[in-house]
Structure 1
Amino acid sequence: MAYWLFKTEPDAFSIDDLKNAPEQTSMWDGVRNYQARNFLRDGIKHGDLVMIYHSSCKQVGVAGIATVTREAYADPTQFDLNSDYYDAKATADNPRWFVVDVQYQAHLKKLVSLQAIKANESITEIALKKGGRLSVMPVTEHDWQQIIAMSER
C-alpha cells in the first residue's frame, strides 16, 4: 500500500462531496499535468490511501481520507466535447489522461493546514513543504503518520 495526496478546490469537489457521492465513491478526474497523470496511471494502486487536500480556499489543508477503489483508466471527460477537460488530441486507442476511483473513508478530526505542515519539522519529504503544486503527489508513510497525528491533537 502506498500513500498519496490529491489536491482539489472544495468549491469544485470537496471531501463532503465525496462523502455524499453514491456509495461514497467518485472518479478523480480533471488532472491535466503530465507528472500527476503519470502518478495516476503508473503509480496508484487499488487499496492505496489518499489524503484529500483542499486548496484555493479559506481553509487550505488536508481535510480527509479516501481509498483507491479502481486503478487507472481513461478519463472519459477527455472525449466529451462539452467538458472543460475535453482534449482533441486524445483518442480511445491513445488516451492522454487517466483517472482513478476513490472512496470516502473519513474526515480528519481537524483540518491540517498547509501552514502547520510547513511548520512541522518532523515532516520532511512531502512536496507541499517544498512548494509543490501538483494535484497528485506521493506521501511517505512517515509524513502520512505525522499529518494524521496532527489532525488528532
Structure 2
Amino acid sequence: MKSEPGCYGLQNLKDEPEQITCWDGVRNYQACNLLRDRIRVGDGVLFYHSNISQPAVVGLAEVVRDGYPDHTALDPNVDHFDPKSSVDNPVWYMVDIQYRATLPRPLTRADLAGHPILSGMGVLKKGNRLSVQLVSAAEWRAILDLSDLSDPLTGGRRP
C-alpha cells in the first residue's frame, strides 16, 4: 500500500489508537476491486512511502478487517466524496490495517530493483500508480530477509 508520508505515513499509523486505521480514499477501480475482492484479514501489507525523494518500503502492517464500503465517498465535506456512491450501492471500498513493524532501514526502489525476486514488483513498473497492489509470498519473504525481520503477522495469511 502506497501513501505519501506528508498526507499519511507509517508514523501516523503507529500513532493511531490500537495502531489501526481504515485504508480509505482509494479511487481507482482496479485498486478498489483488490480491496473488495482479494485482500483479506491476515494478509500482510508492505507500507510504501511515495512521492518523496527516495520512495521506499518503510514498514509492515496487517489487514484486520475485510473490505467494506468506504464511508468517505458518502460525505460531501471530504475530498474523497463521490456522488455516484450511496449506502445502497457503494462504489468504493476500504479495509482496516494494523501496524506491525518499522523496517530497520527503508528499502528504496533501487534496493527492490537490484533484488532478483523483487525486481518484478508492480511498484517498480513504469506508469504503475496504483496505491494498492498485490505482493507474492516470495516477495514478502524477500522483504523480510532484506530487513532481517521475522514475520510479524498474527492472522496466518500471507500475501
Q: What is the TM-score with the length of structure 1 in the denominator? A: 0.92
Does the residue aligned with 2:112 lie in a helix, a strand or coil?
Answer: helix
2:147 pairs with 128, 145, 151, which one? 151
Aligned residues of 1:124 and 1:143 also touching (Cα < 8 A): no
Deviations 1:15-60 (A, max 9, x none): 1000000110000011000000000000011111101000001331
Residues 1:111 and 2:96 are matched in the alignment: no
- 1:58 aligns with 53
- Aligned residue pairs total 148
**Distance in 2 (alpha carbons) for counterparts of 1:128 and 1:36:** 13
**Distance in 2 (alpha carbons) for counterparts of 1:128 and 1:10:** 16
Letter of the aligned partner of 1:92 in structure 2?
V
Runs (4 or more) in structure 1 with deviation over 3 Å come to none
2:89 pairs with 84, 87, 94, which one? 94
Does the residue aligned with 2:110 lie in a helix, a strand or coil?
Answer: helix
Q: Percent identity?
A: 41
CA-CA distance at 1:124 after TM superposition: 4.7
- 2:5 aligns with 10
Structure with more strand by fraction: 1
**Distance in 2 (alpha carbons) for counterparts of 1:122 and 1:136:** 19
Residues 1:140 and 2:142 are matched in the alignment: no
Deviations 1:68-126 (A, max 9, x none): 11111110100001100000111111111001000000101110001211122232542
Does the residue aligned with 1:139 lie in a helix, a strand or coil?
Answer: coil
CA-CA distance at 1:143 after TM superposition: 1.2
Measured on the aligned residues, the alpha-carbon RMSD in Å equals 1.4
Structure 1: tracts of 5 or more residues without a match: 1-5
**Distance in 2 (alpha carbons) for counterparts of 1:38 and 1:125:** 22
